């Protein structure tokens, strides 16, 4: 069963109930090119594990800037209230897991997190996109430290991690995978 929790021209959040009795929930976030979809990164994994999934997608080119923390929590809060939740994503989805995962106090698993619209990276393709999010260190923090996977040879990933993630989560578990590339998974 899929249930639409929030849909705008820029964001779609969909709840997938794969196991009514599951005490666990995976909130997964689409990557940079995933677009508006009802299912994506993490949805099949959730199904295979027998846990429910909330999939968060964004219109290509928006870098999740059109989703506020309060909109996100209003959409998903009641679904995480009595569950052990995980926020999971890779690349832009990894950034989103870190940014939004704190407000739901989820266990965060972030792979090669980056947001190319952030001023520390400021990729030319996003120069006209206003970065509207708080710094991760100023957003709500998860009580359980995240797990962050990265390749230390990916320059932009390391810049983003050192400048944006480590100030928020200095005690996170950082797992280095040299030469794995940005797409570690």
pLDDT confidence band for 142 (50 / 70 / 90): very high
* Structure confidence at residue 138 (pLDDT): 98
* Structure confidence at residue 122 (pLDDT): 78
The encoded tokens of residue 55 equal 């999939």
- Condensed to tens digits (0 to 9), the pLDDT of residues 81-98 reads 989 999 999 999 999 999
- Condensed to tens digits (0 to 9), the pLDDT of residues 122-141 reads 788 888 899 999 999 999 99
Cα–Cα distances (Å) from 77 to 57, 65, 84, in that order, read 17, 20, 12
* Structure confidence at residue 185 (pLDDT): 84
* Structure confidence at residue 127 (pLDDT): 86
Spatial contact of 148 and 162, defined as CB atoms under 8 Å apart: no
CB neighbour list of residue 154: distance below 8 Å, 6 or more residues apart = 112, 181, 182
The encoded tokens of residue 136 equal 């991760």
**CA torsion through residues 98, 160, 182, 70, sign:** positive
**Strands 2-7 vs 11-16: parallel, antiparallel or unpaired:** antiparallel
- The CATH number corresponding to 2-176 among 2.120.10.30, 3.40.50.1820, 3.40.190.10, 3.10.590.10 equals 3.40.50.1820
Spatial contact of 87 and 109, defined as CB atoms under 8 Å apart: yes
- Condensed to tens digits (0 to 9), the pLDDT of residues 145-178 reads 999 999 999 999 999 999 999 999 999 999 999 9
130 DSSP assignment? -
pLDDT of 1 strictly over 80: no
The encoded tokens of residue 103 equal 């407000």
Q: 134-143 burial, b if ≥16 CB within 10 A, otherwise e?
A: eebeebebbe
Rounded Cα distance, 87 and 50, in Å: 16
- Condensed to tens digits (0 to 9), the pLDDT of residues 31-65 reads 999 899 999 999 999 999 999 999 999 999 999 99
Spatial contact of 141 and 98, defined as CB atoms under 8 Å apart: no
- Condensed to tens digits (0 to 9), the pLDDT of residues 107-126 reads 999 999 999 999 999 788 88
């Amino acid at each position: 069963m899929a249930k639409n929790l929030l849909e705008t021209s820029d964001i779609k959040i969909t709840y997938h109930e794969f196991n009514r009795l599951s005490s666990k929930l995976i909130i997964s976030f689409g990557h940079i090119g995933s677009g508006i979809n009802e299912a994506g990164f993490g949805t099949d994994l959730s199904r295979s594990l027998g846990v429910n999934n909330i999939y968060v997608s964004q219109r290509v080119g928006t870098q999740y800037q059109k989703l506020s923390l309060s909109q996100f929590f209003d959409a998903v809060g009641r679904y995480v209230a009595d569950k052990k939740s995980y926020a999971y994503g890779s690349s832009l989805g990894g950034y989103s897991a870190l940014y939004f995962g704190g407000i739901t106090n989820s266990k965060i698993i972030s792979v090669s997190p980056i947001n190319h619209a952030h001023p520390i990276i400021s990729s030319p393709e996003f120069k006209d996109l206003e970065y509207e999010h708080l710094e991760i260190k100023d957003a709500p923090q998860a009580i359980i430290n995240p797990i962050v996977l990265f390749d230390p040879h990916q320059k932009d990933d390391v810049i983003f991690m050192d400048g944006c993630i480590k100030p928020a989560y200095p005690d996170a578990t950082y797992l280095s995978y040299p030469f794995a590339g940005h797409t570690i998974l």
